[in-house]
């Protein structure tokens, strides 16, 4: 980590409160840093808190029924302390986001061009003509052919890959310092997926934008991210450099995730390794390890004492009984 | 777009043909007829037969229908059996009053309904929303004539704030240009007549607007709630756009699609409601004309009015479809 990270998340906690229902702790003390130009991954299964974390950074969670605590600093500015309008100034300009489903994430009744120019005009103070020219530029840069003609087309007239490219163009329109991509390729087929990921990598490298990749797909993480955070039940259970994490996964959850990836060279008929059970809701970490009920290496301590996060040799680990370093 | 409109207009022809046949047949299958209605106690079989012969009702129904169609094509809808006046000129005389009433009622419903529905959705679960939901439920449930009499009694009779009936006060010297009382006053610069006409309009228009208003509020609320949760609204917020831009460009534009369909459907109900409202406020429009025609079995009048209602309904819904194509590119371009 560099001495002055671009994004500094400390002890982020997001609790959903509903009347008549127990609170749901979606994110439970997550801390991580992103340096300028760095690419990191937040990985985990559905409900592990990865999307809620990103929405909290964007301050896009609803104000009512959601309690956010901790600290989110962007360039030394505490985002959680900003007023709504101050945050709106930063959103789309300093920090922007790409979402999962490109069709539903674009407004169906207004042309693509306007959806790009509105950000330029809002944050970069451009005039109409200037913004249109810049939009052509942007569409060209994300690899959309005939960009000038595309300005007047509507989302439903574009293919899935083109729509995601358009969304990327929107997100990068103001050259943000930080880009959050929440499952950006889940809705796309595999070849398009590879193109989009390649495009994202190139763009962040060119512009020096830091990228937080949120995904459940370890393949994407392996290809792109320098540092990988594995989330379980709203907490980071393991964090390490990509090669170390994939080479020697220490947390049983990470280990299980990697083992569950089907391999082309496995003998036919072999059963896929799966992690049994599913994640518990509400207060998973209260008095035990949240992963304990599903863990193959569970000890009695795991059910009684919540494991602390320990850092050694650049690896963060939250486990009483980690997989031995020599296991794989 | 032009081809779309022409195709839709051509589709109207078979609809109207079928409808006119049904109306023709249904009217004649009702017990009684113009002759008995006109003669009352003095009805004798001979006199009834005589009148029926005079009206051409003694011929087979299909022959009557064929002759009717032939006349309609040349613009003749027959003469009223009540007044002996050509039906078309009657309609032309009574129509402006009803259009004036309906248009004002629809304007109230739309201009009040959309903002109210939007606000209810935006402040979902808060007092404003709860009040709106309850209010619209009452609005839909209260019968038009009951509400009409209630308003008339309290506001016009007890409080004397507004005139209880009619379109103009006696003693007001208004020049008739278009038949639309408010408009006439403006055109002839008789502003006192305009104001008087407007005062007469308030109660009937509010009465008639109640149900469409309630329906529009509810549809707008549901539609806005739906759109507020949409992914593209999240995208718009993630762009850091000004709240006004998110609301107008991203939320309202999408939310208005189902609302425009509802408005079209409401026009049909508005015509039905106008009959009752005109009765309560002695409005003297098409509604009154229709009510008299039903009582006295005035076939030519009823035929013309029912067909006219159908044409208005079809045209309004065509306008709705066109507006849909204007708002939604997915309709326009596919």
Average pLDDT score, chain A: 89
Interface test with B, best of A107, A118, A151 (most B CBs within 10 A): A107
pLDDT category, B223, cuts 50, 70, 90? very high
> How far is Cα B149 from Cα A215, in angstroms, rounded to an integer?
64
Residue A317: per-residue pLDDT: 93
Q: How many residues are recorded in chain B?
A: 334
Tokens of A235: 């907490």
pLDDT category, A318, cuts 50, 70, 90? very high
Strand-strand pairing, A235-241 and A315-317: antiparallel
Q: Which stretch of A6-20, B158-172, B231-245 has the lowest confidence by average pLDDT?
A: B158-172
At residue A56, does pLDDT exceed 90?
A: yes
Strand-strand pairing, A7-16 and A66-74: antiparallel
Q: How far is CA A95 from the centre of its chain?
A: 13
- Find the closest chain A residue to B256 by CA distance: A109
Cβ distance B254 to A108 less than 8 Å, yes or no, reads yes
Residue A105: per-residue pLDDT: 94
Residue A281: per-residue pLDDT: 62
DSSP count for chain A of H helices, then E strands: 12, 12
Q: Give the bridge partners for A288, in sequence order.
A: none
User: Taking CB atoms and an 8 Å cutoff, what residues of chain A touch B235?
Assistant: 99, 105-107, 167, 170
Residue A327: per-residue pLDDT: 45
Percent of chain A with pLDDT over 70: 97
Question: Rounded mean pLDDT of B52-56?
Answer: 83
pLDDT category, B241, cuts 50, 70, 90? very high
HSE, side-chain direction, 13 A CA sphere, residue A178: 24
Cβ distance A109 to B253 less than 8 Å, yes or no, reads yes
Tokens of B22: 């049904």
pLDDT category, B23, cuts 50, 70, 90? confident
- Find the closest chain A residue to B232 by CA distance: A105
Compare CB distances from A92 to B230, B234, B239 and report the shortest one's residue.
B239
Strand-strand pairing, A235-241 and A310-312: unpaired
Residue A328: per-residue pLDDT: 43
> How far is Cα A303 from Cα B153, in angstroms, rounded to an integer?
75
Query: pLDDT tens digits for A179-230?
Result: 999 988 887 888 888 888 888 888 888 888 999 999 988 888 888 899 999 9
Query: pLDDT tens digits for B78-94?
Result: 888 888 899 999 999 88
> How far is Cα A163 from Cα B238, in angstroms, rounded to an integer?
17
Tokens of A215: 């995904």
- Alpha-carbon torsion, ordered A137, A143, A148, A150, to 10 deg: -130
At residue A286, does pLDDT exceed 50?
A: yes
Residue B118: per-residue pLDDT: 94
At residue B174, does pLDDT exceed 80?
A: no
DSSP code of residue B252 = I
Query: pLDDT tens digits for B300-331?
Result: 999 899 888 888 888 888 888 888 878 888 87
Q: How far apart are the first and last CA of chain A?
A: 27
Query: pLDDT tens digits for A15-32?
Result: 998 888 888 889 999 999
Cβ distance B235 to A60 less than 8 Å, yes or no, reads no
User: For the range B168-176, what are the long-range contacts, defined as Cβ-Cβ under 8 Å and sequence gap of 24 or more?
Assistant: B168/B193, B168/B196, B168/B197, B168/B200, B169/B196, B169/B200, B172/B196
Write down the pTM of the prediction.
0.81
At residue B169, does pLDDT exceed 90?
A: no
Residue A55: per-residue pLDDT: 93
Q: How far is CA A303 from the centre of its chain?
A: 30
Residue B333, classified by CB atoms within 10 Å of its CB into exposed (0-12), middle (13-18) or buried (19+), is exposed
Highest-scoring range by mean pLDDT, A228-237, A254-263, A281-290, B25-34: A228-237
Q: Which stretch of A240-244, B61-65, B176-180, B243-247 has the lowest confidence by average pLDDT?
A: B176-180
Cβ neighbour number for residue A328 with a 10 Å cutoff: 12
At residue B334, does pLDDT exceed 70?
A: no
Highest-scoring range by mean pLDDT, A105-119, A282-296, B24-38, B172-186: A105-119
Residue B36: per-residue pLDDT: 81
- The helix/strand/coil state of A260 is coil
Residue B204: per-residue pLDDT: 93
Interface of chain A against chain B, CB under 8 Å?
58, 60, 87-93, 96-97, 99, 101, 104-111, 118-119, 122-123, 154, 156-157, 167, 170
CA distance B144 to chain A (A): 37
Residue A128: per-residue pLDDT: 92
- What φ, ψ does residue A230 adopt, rounded to 5°? -100, 120
Residue A40, classified by CB atoms within 10 Å of its CB into exposed (0-12), middle (13-18) or buried (19+), is buried
At residue B177, does pLDDT exceed 80?
A: no
> How far is Cα A170 from Cα A248, in angstroms, rounded to an integer?
38
Closest residue by Cα to residue A184 from A211, A158, A215, A228: A215
HSE, side-chain direction, 13 A CA sphere, residue A108: 19
Tokens of A129: 């003509």
Q: Which stretch of A72-76, A199-203, A275-279 has the lowest confidence by average pLDDT?
A: A275-279
Compare CB distances from B240 to A104, A108, A122 and report the shortest one's residue.
A122
DSSP3 helix / strand / coil % (chain A, rounded to 5): 35, 20, 45
Q: Which stretch of A142-156, A311-325, B1-15, B136-150 has the lowest confidence by average pLDDT?
A: B1-15
Cβ distance B239 to A60 less than 8 Å, yes or no, reads no
Strand-strand pairing, A95-98 and A77-78: unpaired
Compare CB distances from B239 to A87, A110, A118 and report the shortest one's residue.
A118
- What φ, ψ does residue A69 adopt, rounded to 5°? -135, 170
Residue A326: per-residue pLDDT: 66
- Give the strands of the sheet with A227-232, arranged side by side: A95-98, A178-182, A210-215, A39-43, A227-232, A235-241, A315-317, A310-312
Cβ distance B240 to A89 less than 8 Å, yes or no, reads yes
Residue B49: per-residue pLDDT: 86
Cβ distance A101 to B249 less than 8 Å, yes or no, reads no
At residue A282, does pLDDT exceed 60?
A: no
At residue B216, does pLDDT exceed 90?
A: yes
Residue B207: per-residue pLDDT: 93
> How far is Cα A131 from Cα A116, in angstroms, rounded to an integer?
8
Cβ distance B232 to A106 less than 8 Å, yes or no, reads yes
Compare CB distances from A106 to B235, B242, B245 and report the shortest one's residue.
B235
Tokens of B332: 């326009």
CA distance A191 to chain B (A): 25
Angle at A204 between CA A200 and CA A208, to 5 degrees: 175
Closest residue by Cα to residue A240 from A315, A134, A291: A315
At residue A240, does pLDDT exceed 50?
A: yes
- What φ, ψ does residue A323 adopt, rounded to 5°? -65, 135
At residue B190, does pLDDT exceed 90?
A: no
User: Taking CB atoms and an 8 Å cutoff, what residues of chain B touch A97?
Assistant: 238
> How far is Cα A261 from Cα A287, in angstroms, rounded to an integer?
31
Cβ distance A107 to B232 less than 8 Å, yes or no, reads yes
Dihedral angle sign, alpha carbons of residues A39, A45, A46, A50: negative
- What φ, ψ does residue A178 adopt, rounded to 5°? -130, 135
Over the range A206-224, which residues count as b (16 or more CB within 10 Å of their CB) and which as e? Answer: eeebbbbbbbbbbebbbeb
In DSSP notation, B142-183 reads: S-HHHHHHHHIIIIIIIS--S--SSSS-TT-----SSS-HHH
């Amino acid at each position: 980590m560099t001495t002055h990270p671009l994004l500094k998340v400390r002890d982020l906690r997001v609790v959903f409160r509903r009347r008549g229902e127990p609170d749901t702790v979606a994110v439970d003390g997550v801390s991580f840093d992103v340096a300028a130009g760095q690419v990191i991954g937040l990985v985990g299964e559905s409900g592990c808190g990865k999307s809620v974390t990103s929405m909290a950074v964007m301050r896009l969670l609803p104000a009512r029924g959601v309690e956010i605590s901790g600290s989110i600093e962007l360039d030394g500015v505490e985002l959680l302390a900003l007023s709504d309008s101050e945050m709106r100034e930063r959103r789309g300009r300093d920090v922007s986001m790409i979402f999962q489903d490109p069709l539903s994430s674009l407004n169906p009744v207004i042309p693509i061009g306007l959806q790009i120019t509105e950000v330029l005009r809002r944050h970069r103070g451009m005039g109409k003509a200037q913004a249109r020219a810049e939009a052509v530029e942007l569409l060209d840069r994300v690899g959309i052919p005939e960009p000038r003609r595309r300005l007047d087309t509507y989302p439903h007239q574009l293919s899935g890959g083109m729509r995601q490219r358009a969304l990327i163009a929107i997100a990068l329109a103001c050259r943000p310092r930080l880009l959050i991509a929440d499952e950006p390729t889940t809705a796309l087929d595999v070849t398009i997926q590879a193109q989009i990921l390649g495009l994202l990598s190139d763009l962040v490298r060119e512009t020096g934008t830091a990228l937080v990749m949120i995904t459940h797909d370890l393949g994407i993480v392996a290809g792109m991210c320098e540092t990988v955070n594995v989330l379980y039940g709203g907490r980071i259970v393991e964090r390490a450099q990509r090669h170390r994490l994939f080479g020697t996964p220490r947390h049983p959850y990470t280990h299980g995730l990697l083992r569950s990836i089907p391999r082309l060279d496995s003998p036919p008929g072999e059963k896929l390794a799966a992690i049994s059970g599913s994640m518990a809701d509400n207060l998973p970490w209260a008095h035990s390890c949240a992963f304990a009920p599903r863990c193959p290496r569970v000890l009695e301590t795991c059910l009684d004492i919540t494991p602390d996060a320990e850092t050694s040799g650049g690896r963060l680990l939250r486990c009483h009984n980690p997989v031995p370093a020599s296991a794989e | 777009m032009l081809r779309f409109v022409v195709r839709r207009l051509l589709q109207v022809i078979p609809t109207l043909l079928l409808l006119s046949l049904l109306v023709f047949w249904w009217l004649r299958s009702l017990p009684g007829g113009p002759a008995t209605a006109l003669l009352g106690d003095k009805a004798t079989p001979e006199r009834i037969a005589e009148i029926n012969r005079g009206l051409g009702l003694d011929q087979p129904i299909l022959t009557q229908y064929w002759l009717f169609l032939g006349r309609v094509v040349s613009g003749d809808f027959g003469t009223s059996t009540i007044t002996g006046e050509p039906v078309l000129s009657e309609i032309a005389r009574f129509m402006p009053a009803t259009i004036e009433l309906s248009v004002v009622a629809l304007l109230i419903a739309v201009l009040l309904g959309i903002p109210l529905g939007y606000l209810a959705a935006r402040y979902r679960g808060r007092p404003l929303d709860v009040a709106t939901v309850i209010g619209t439920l009452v609005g839909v449930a209260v019968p038009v004539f009951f509400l009409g009499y209630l308003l008339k009694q309290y506001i016009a009779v007890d409080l004397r704030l507004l005139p209880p009936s009619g379109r103009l006060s006696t003693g007001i010297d208004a020049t008739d240009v278009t038949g639309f009382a408010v408009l006439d006053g403006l055109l002839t610069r008789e502003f006192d007549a305009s104001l008087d006409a407007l005062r007469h309009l308030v109660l009937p228009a509010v009465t008639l607007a109640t149900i469409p208003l309630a329906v529009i509020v509810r549809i707008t609320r549901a539609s806005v709630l739906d759109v507020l949760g949409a992914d593209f609204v999240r995208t718009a917020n993630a762009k850091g756009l000004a709240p006004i831009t998110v609301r107008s460009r991203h939320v309202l534009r999408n939310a208005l699609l189902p609302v425009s369909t509802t408005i079209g459907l409401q026009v049909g109900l508005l015509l039905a409601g106008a009959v009752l409202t005109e009765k309560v406020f002695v409005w003297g429009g098409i509604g009154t004309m229709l009510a008299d025609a039903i009582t006295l079995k005035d076939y030519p009048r009823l035929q013309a009015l029912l067909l006219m209602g159908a044409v208005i309904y079809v045209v309004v819904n065509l306008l709705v479809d066109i507006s849909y194509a204007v708002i939604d590119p997915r309709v326009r371009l596919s």
